[in-house]
Amino acid sequence: MRRKRRNWLPYLLSLPALLVTIWILIPFFTAVYYSMMRYRLSLPHLKGFVWFDNYLQFLTDARFWYTVQVSLTYTVLTVVIELVLGLGIAILLQRSTRFNNLAAMLLLLPLMVAPALAALMWKLMTNPNFGILNYFVSLIGFSDFRWASDPSSALFTVILVDVWVYTPFIMVLLLAGLRSLPKQPFEAAALDGVPKTFVFFRITLPMLMPYILTASLFRMLESIQQFDIIYAMTQGGPGNTLTVFQVESYLQFFQFTNVGRSAALLMVLWAITFFLSNVFVKNWLRLRERAHGVEAE
């Protein structure tokens, strides 16, 4: 009785969830197909299958390489800054005192703000007419700092918003990691009078590495796909300064109505995220196994 039941019950339980989400493969394969087509909504008579032409065109296309460059710059800078700040704050709050726990709770709040709305908040704070941040920087000598509307500071501004939203993510993960580390090595080091910098680089950092790796891979995965903050802040502008992958493909689709090119761009991004997510899932499983003590395949 029980043996027989075991055969179909798990399928019955998991199938509805799968059925409701598996249709995503239809638009996915549609995108694969579009990426191999010359397909502009404005020039319907040119529509046709061109195999890998869209991809081959990328090789010599400066606008494509600019997208690659600005996406990678954005990803590397946000993840590195967030990692350094998040680790620093986590170390400051490591001891579980009432003040530290209250601070950790408050520092989590930006992560709960919708990224698009966070960009809107920073837009209000950097408005040329009344922005409080314009006022602050004017006090230190930058009287006409134009933030996101100046090509030379636009990337800096959206990175700032990203850092504001997502540093708390790294911070809470590393804080939980730090607090779960075994106490003995630290006590032994303190007894022996080992210098603190040595303890940090030779004990804390290596033991924390799995957490650092998981947190930064997860952030990389999101950062290379960032859309909300950049679109809400400048819609990819000024000019094409901030045309990262998803923003550029959005513009290609809706503004230039170039469906083929937009789909090919997203396929390139998908290949990158597919690779990153595989690395991420491996690390994540290892950590999850440790946290739950369950065996995972």
273 binds another protein (CB under 8 A): yes
- In the complex, the smallest distance separating the C-beta of residue 20 from another protein, rounded to whole angstroms, is 5
**From 56, 176, 209, 279, residue interacting with another protein (rule: CB under 8 A):** 176
Cα angle for residues 24, 26, 29 (degrees, 5° grid): 110
- Check binding of 9 to another protein (CB under 8 A): yes
Q: CB 13 → another protein: shortest distance, Å?
A: 4
Using the rule CB under 8 A, give the single segment among 53-61, 71-79, 149-157, 263-271 that binds another protein.
263-271
Q: Check binding of 63 to another protein (CB under 8 A).
A: no
Exactly one of 162, 245, 258, 261 binds another protein (CB under 8 A); that residue is: 245
Binding status of residue 10 toward another protein by CB under 8 A: yes
What does the block give as tokens for 280?
């991420």
Shortest CB 228 distance to another protein, Å: 5
Cβ contacts of 109-115, under 8 Å, gap ≥ 24: 109/168, 110/164, 110/165, 110/167, 110/168, 111/165, 111/166, 111/168, 111/169, 111/172, 113/165, 114/228, 115/161, 115/162, 115/165, 115/228, 115/229, 115/232
Smallest CA-to-CA distance from 104 within 89, 84, 83, 88 is with: 89
Question: Whole-angstrom Cα distance, residue 278 to residue 276?
Answer: 5
Query: 181 exposed, middle or buried (CB, 10 Å; 0-12, 13-18, 19+)?
Result: middle
Residues in 147-166 at the binding interface with another protein, rule: CB under 8 A: 164
Single-letter code of the amino acid located at 111: L
How many residues form the binding site for another protein (CB under 8 A)? Answer: 101
Q: Residue from 46, 80, 84, 114 that binds another protein (CB under 8 A)? A: 114
With respect to another protein, which residue has the nearer C-beta, 44 or 60? Answer: 44
Q: Which is nearer to another protein, 39 or 241 (CB)?
A: 39
The yes or no reply on residue 173 touching another protein (CB under 8 A) is yes
Contact map string, positions 69 to 108, toward another protein, x by CB under 8 A: ----------------x--xx--xx-x----x--x-xxxx
Question: Cβ closer to another protein: 69 or 138?
Answer: 138
- Pick 103 or 203: Cβ nearer another protein: 103
- Closest to another protein by CB, 57 vs 100, is 100
> By the 8 A CB rule, do 46 and 131 touch?
no
Which run of H or of E encompasses 159?
helix 151-180
- Considering only 250, 258, 260, 261, the residue that binds another protein (CB under 8 A) is 250
Q: Binding to another protein by residue 46, rule CB under 8 A? A: no
**Chain Cα centroid distance, residue 154:** 18
Whether a cis peptide bond, with omega within 30° of 0, leads into 110 is no
- What are the percentages of helix, strand and coil residues in the chain, rounded to 5? 75, 0, 20
130 binds another protein (CB under 8 A): yes
Of the two residues 61 and 289, which places its CB atom closer to another protein in the complex? 289
Cβ proximity to another protein, 60 vs 184, nearer residue: 184
Residue closer to another protein by CB (options 76, 190) is 190
Handedness of CA 202, 203, 206, 208 (dihedral sign): negative
